Structures are given as C-alpha cells and as structure tokens.
Amino acid sequence: MLRYLRLVGIQVRASLLLAMQYRVEFVVQGFAGLFWSAATFVPLFVVFGKRPSVAGWSFGQALLVLAFFLLLRSLLDGAVNPSLVQVVEHIRQGTLDFVLMKPADAQFLVSTAKFDPSALSGTFGAFGLFGWAFWKTHHAPSPGGVVIALLLLAAAVALLYSIWILVVSSAFYVVRVDNLSYLFTSIFDAARWPASVFRGILHFVFTFVIPLALMTTYPAEALLSRFTWSDAAASIGGALAFAAVARLTWRGALAKYTSASS
C-alpha cells in the first residue's frame, strides 16, 4: 500500500515537472479552466431566469448539483482523463508493452500515469459555488448530511473512474475509442442538471445504466438533508459493483491485448 502511495507521489511529481516545463500552457490551461467554470452557469441562468423552480429544485439547490458537477468535472479532467487518454495511445502504438512489463498493477500504473494540475483549477470554482448555494438556500448542511455527501462523492469518483476504465478497456477490442470518450463526456454533461429534470427512459438510463444521478444529484440531496443513510448505502453498493465490473472487464481486456507489431 505504502509502495503504491509512493508511486502516486512520483507520478504526480513528474506531472508537475511537466506542467512547469511548459509554463505558458500551464497558465493558459488554468485560465481556460476558470473560464469554463464560469461558462457552466449560463444554461442555469437561462432556465431559472423564467421560473422559480425546475422539477422541484430551486436555483440555489440546483447550484449545489452544479457545484458537484464542477468538482467531478475538474477531477475527471485533472486526474482521470489525462492518464486514460494516454492508455488508448499506448494500445494503438504498442507501448503498453512497457507498462505491462512492470512489476506493479497495470491498471494502477496506467490510471496514475499523468495528472493535469491546471485542470484542477475548477475545484476552486466548485467550492465557491457551494458557498453561494448555501447562501441562496439559507440552509446550512447537517453534519450527518456532510458525511453522507462526502461518502457519495467518493462513490461518484469511483463510479466515474470505473466508467472510464470500461471505455478504455473497449480500446483493447476496437483500438480507436476517441468517439466513445467524446460520447461519454457529452453524456456526463447532463450531470449538471438535477436528475428529476429527466423523465422516462432518460431518467432510467441516468439512474441505473450511466448513474449520473448518483454523481451529482444524490450528494446535493444529502447536503439538503433529503437523503437517508440507507439510500446512501445502496448508492455506494452500486458504485462498488460498478468498480468490480470495471476491474473484471479490464482484466479480460488485458488477456485480449495483442500488442502492436514491431
């Protein structure tokens, strides 16, 4: 365990060195991240400009969902996406060989290969949003609600990561997955809205198939004291099941790996 923590440390260090090597890009990316955070409000303003609530959510409450969305989006762009995009390239060029030759868990190595510190700037925006949302709703979260929300957030990160592993695993079979990753980021965009906005089939899909509801809506509801411990347990169980499926799929995909010719 300690060894893996040390490995993460070294990989983060390498990413920081890299980021600082290209200083201009680092600064530009940081600003782009902040700009993007600001831009996420626009649809919310448009929708709430005409009506006081949408699908039972007030503006302030919807801000909480958006804050979780922004937080996850930053984590996705900063900590998950850069490494896993690299895997696809590794598979295409056959350099995954070097990763598989290492005496450490391959999924761990590829998942922590690269971080993008500039993309993490969005997390500041997210914390600002939390403050604004509580001010708007005149509601301070209960300690229990905060604990549940944090647990759900951890489950959401696990879920997001698992979905990415599933996407990457498909690269072993189809080699090019650029479209799949675009598709996923586009679908993930829907997580900025409270889940009850979606009806019918979309509601089912976003709750059970690609559980966007668990990622942003449920943690927000926990902060609003509308989520119980048993609901939280079920969500965490769901996230763990997703993680197990992702792990099995990854292992199956590795066995399928054909490497690229010399």
Partner 1 sequence: MVHVRELSKVYRVHQRPPGLVPAFKSIFHRAYRNVPAVQSLSFDIGPGERVGFLGPNGAGKTTTLKMLAGLLHPTSGSALVNGFVPRERSVGLLKSITLVMGQKQQLLWDLPPAETFALNRAIYEVPPAQFQDTVRELSELLELGELVNQPTRQLSLGERMKCELAAALLHRPKVLFLDEPTIGLDVAMQLTVREFVRRYNERYGATVLLTSHYMEDVRALCPRVVVIDKGRLLFDGAIEELVKSVKPNKRIVLKLSRPVDGADAARFGEVMEHEPSRIELDVRPDQLQAAVAGALASLPIADLVVEDPPLEDALRELFRRSRTDGADSR
Q: Which residues of the shown chain bind partner 1 in the complex (CB under 8 A)? A: 3, 6-7, 10-11, 14, 17-18, 21-22, 93-95, 97-98, 100-104, 109, 255, 257-259, 261-262
In the complex, least distance from residue 5 CB atom to partner 1, rounded to whole angstroms: 10
Taking the complex as a whole, how short is the minimal distance between the CB of residue 11 and partner 1, in angstroms? 7
Q: Could you tell me the smallest distance in angstroms from the CB atom of residue 165 to partner 1?
A: 19
Q: Closest CB to partner 1 among 89 and 127?
A: 89
Token pair of 123 as six digits: 């997390």
Residue among 11 and 216 whose Cβ is closer to partner 1? 11
List Cα–Cα distances, 138 to 84, 132, 224, in angstroms: 40, 10, 11
AA letter at 225: S
Side chain identity, residue 251: R
Provide the token pair at 89.
């390239």
Beta bridge partner(s), residue 58: 53
Residue type at 115?
F
Tokens of 27: 């600064």
CA distance 170 to 88: 9
Tell me whether residue 21 or residue 230 sits nearer to partner 1 (CB atom). 21
Smallest separation (angstroms) from partner 1 to the CB of 163: 25
- Distance, first Cα to last Cα, the chain: 35
Q: How many residues does the chain have?
A: 262
Least Cβ distance, residue 29 to partner 1 (angstroms)? 15
Q: Are 112 and 84 in contact (CB under 8 A)?
A: no
CA torsion sign for 22, 28, 34, 37 is negative
In the complex with partner 1, the residue whose CB is nearer, 26 or 41, is 26
| Residue owning tokens 């942003």 | 216
Q: How far is the CB of 247 from partner 1 (least distance, A)?
A: 16
| Closer residue to partner 1 in complex, CB, 6/176 | 6
* Shortest Å, Cβ 162 to partner 1: 23
Identity of the residue, 7 or 120, whose beta carbon is nearer to partner 1 in the bound complex:
7
- Please state, in angstroms and rounded to a whole number, the distance separating the CA atoms of residues 112 and 210: 23
3 vs 50 by CB, closer to partner 1? 3
